[in-house]
Structure 1
């Protein structure tokens, strides 16, 4: 039996700020942008991974969440404390330069890590950490 990841979620505060970052800066394709009962379902993904969607979800997306819960998520997001995603690339230095040049908020320039990768990190418009990693040649 095969098990594959199909969907993951990133919490964003504003779809209209997030979409240009993920589409234009990172180069992901927008796969869905659908309104439904006052909410919005937005998915993006890499053209190289057509079976994996990333949902850009706002704190108000869960109608069962209380206002206190939504405020808590919003506060964590504002502090950059929610988990983001890690993308793999075949050239972390070129990826870094392309994204930095596009004006993204740099958290870490490319560096060799002791656990076998070279990586860099940025913040998306909502404050999430987005990392790019490249396995180091042995």
Structure 2
């Protein structure tokens, strides 16, 4: 088995696509006006409009209602990313770069739908080894 993606459902796909393109610097490939993917070497962030829910046969997800998942991106220098994105993040900042007990330096903020996003850089020898496999 291989974990390949996570999908966010949104009422405003264009706004969310612009946001993720801006914060990651990666272009989202739009397959339809209602579905796109931001592909990284490790995983894909899929973004779908609420209109895609009808394809699953029911109202199975609610946009802008996530209270448990955190979308995480490993970055080379979380402090540099924070300086680059401070104005973009603005009031959506949850936590400025902080070194966590498990060895990652972490920047936590919310996307326009309120989903938590974590940019992190491994900084301890153990964390670096873990991610350099």
TM-score range, shorter chain: 0.7 to 0.9
Cα deviation, residue 34, structure 1: 0.8
Matching of residues 1-138 of structure 1 within 5 Å:
3-35=1-33, 40-46=34-40, 49=41, 52-63=43-54, 64-66=57-59, 69-70=60-61, 73-74=62-63, 77-78=64-65, 80-104=66-90, 105-138=92-125
TM-score by length of 2: 0.77
2:130 counterpart residue number: none
Identify unmatched segments of 5+ residues in structure 1.
none
Matched residue of 1:120: which SS?
A: strand
**Distance across 2 between alignment mates of 1:83 and 1:12:** 15
TM-score by length of 1: 0.75
C-alpha RMSD of the superposition: 2.2
Identify unmatched segments of 5+ residues in structure 2.
126-133
Q: Number of residue pairs matched?
A: 122
Deviation track 1:44-88 (CA, whole Å, cap 9, x = no partner) reads 234xx2x7321112344221123xx55xx24xx24x515231110
